[in-house]
Structure 1
Amino acid sequence: MASNPYVKSLIWLVCSGGVGYGLMLLTEPSEEKLERIKATGGPAHLTNEELKKLQFMQRMREAATGEAPPIYMQKKEK
């Protein structure tokens, strides 16, 4: 039975899935660590170039969701 390739494949699949699940549980960060990461990840620590990228992505997200009119359709008022 162990010489059957389907059985071997199933055994390898179950074992590797178990190892992956075990590693996922082993490396799970604690709530304290997540809060510390969230606290230090604010926009105050971004460079000027990263701020420009963030603003661009926010404008694109607003245009995609319909919150703001698309950028290419905005007309300057005189």
Structure 2
Amino acid sequence: MSGNPYFKSVLWLLGFGGMGYGLMLLTEPNAEKIDRIKASASGSTKLSADDQKKALFMKKLQEAATTSTPLYRPQPQGNKTDS
């Protein structure tokens, strides 16, 4: 029976699947750990210049994703008319 390649494949599949599931359960953070991470991240509210540039870039990308206007052809700021 140990010479059957299908049997070996099933055993390897079960073995690696079980190890993966065990590692997933072992490394899953609990609510207390997540709260600690959030508290330490919110303590550093002062962003560096590089982080500010990244945040501005992400904001521009999000705006471009929600509108149909291309990012490379911005609308003029002074020519807005309110009807």
TM-score, scaled relative to structure 1: 0.79
Kindly report the root-mean-square deviation, in angstroms, between the aligned alpha carbons of the 2 structures: 2.2
**Residues 1:25 and 2:25 aligned together:** yes
5+ long unaligned stretches in structure 1: none
- 5+ residue gaps, structure 2: none
Aligned length: 77
Q: Alpha carbons of 1:8 and 1:45: their partners in 2 closer, same or farther (altered >3 Å)? A: farther
Q: Does 1:41 align with 2:66?
A: no
Match of 2:2 in 1: 2
| CA distance 1:70–1:35, shift in 2 (3 Å) | farther
Kindly state the Cα deviation for residue 76 of structure 1 after the two structures are TM-superposed: 3.6
User: Matches of 1:19 and 1:28 in 2, distance apart?
Assistant: 14
Deviation of the 1:30 alpha carbon:
1.4
More deviation in 27-36 or 38-47? 38-47
Judging by fraction of residues, say which structure has more helix: 1
**Identity fraction in percent:** 48
SS, match of residue 73 in structure 1:
coil
Q: TM-score of the superposition, structure 2-length normalised?
A: 0.75
Kindly indicate whether residue 62 of structure 2 is the aligned counterpart of residue 61 of structure 1.
yes
Structure 1 residue 69, shift from structure 2 partner: 5.1
